[in-house]
Amino acid sequence: MDEKELKELLIKENPEFRRAHNDHQDCERALEAIRGKTHLSAAEADEERELKKKKLALKDRMYRLMSDYLRSR
């Protein structure tokens, strides 16, 4: 099973993974909106930094859940 197949399986079967995946997607959409601006205010720059941190933490969480799933098989 490759990584994409594993993600699709966990999105269907694991509510925690699905939540992390959806939150990760939400962060990406918010970051795209911020990146579309030509100039960022200080608050927007702070928001961008926090979104990047949150997105990375969610990605780490998803990979831990994927690893846990593979170990438990």
pLDDT in tens, 15-50: 999 999 999 999 999 999 999 999 999 999 999 999
Confidence at 2, pLDDT banded by 50, 70, 90: very high
Of 56, 70, 55, nearest to 2 (Cα)?
Answer: 70
User: pLDDT value at position 1?
Assistant: 86
Which structural domain range is residue 59 located in?
Answer: 3-72
Q: Measuring CA to CA, how many Å separate 23 from each of 35, 40, 70?
A: 18, 23, 22
- Rounded Cα distance between 53 and 59, Å, is 10
> What is the sign of the dihedral through the CA atoms of 49, 68, 8 and 11?
negative
The domain total for the chain is 1
- Rounded Cα distance between 23 and 8, Å, is 15
pLDDT in tens, 52-65: 999 999 999 999 99
